[in-house]
């Protein structure tokens, strides 16, 4: 399915899409909440642009684990 419109859920900026392809990458998250939460059976989805991702993760007490790939297929 071709991408039509994408927005950063943090800053609200529209991510450029041409011919159904995003022209920059975003952090895409999806969480299906289960038991022992206040959101049982809800699925939450959001996108974060790279600038907002850097701002958010720079505040983490424990840094993001980064794994470098040696091959891209």
Is 62 within a domain?
no
Query: Smallest Cα–Cα separation from 24: which of 55, 48, 59?
Result: 48
With a cut of 80, say whether residue 3 has pLDDT above it.
no
Is 31 within a domain?
yes
DSSP assignment of 3-49: ---EE-TTT-PEEPEETTEESS-EEEEEEE--TTSTTTT-EEEEEEE
Q: What is the domain count for the chain?
A: 1
pLDDT by residue (tens digit) across 30-69?
Answer: 999 999 999 999 999 999 999 999 999 999 999 999 999 9
Predicted structure pTM score: 0.83
Is 18 within a domain?
yes
Is 63 within a domain?
no
pLDDT at position 1 is: 63
Is 19 within a domain?
yes
Is 15 within a domain?
yes
Is 39 within a domain?
yes
pLDDT at position 72 is: 83
Residue 16 belongs to what domain range? 6-57
Question: Which sign, positive or negative, has the C-alpha torsion 56, 54, 43, 6?
Answer: positive
32 class by beta-carbon count within 10 Å (0-12 exposed, 13-18 middle, 19+ buried):
exposed
């Amino acid at each position: 399915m071709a991408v039509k419109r994408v927005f950063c859920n943090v800053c609200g900026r529209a991510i450029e899409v041409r011919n159904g392809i995003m022209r920059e990458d975003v952090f895409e998250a999806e969480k299906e909440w289960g038991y022992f939460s206040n959101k049982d059976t809800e699925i939450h989805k959001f996108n974060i642009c790279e600038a907002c991702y850097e701002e958010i993760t720079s505040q983490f007490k424990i840094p993001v684990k980064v794994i470098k790939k040696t091959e891209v297929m």
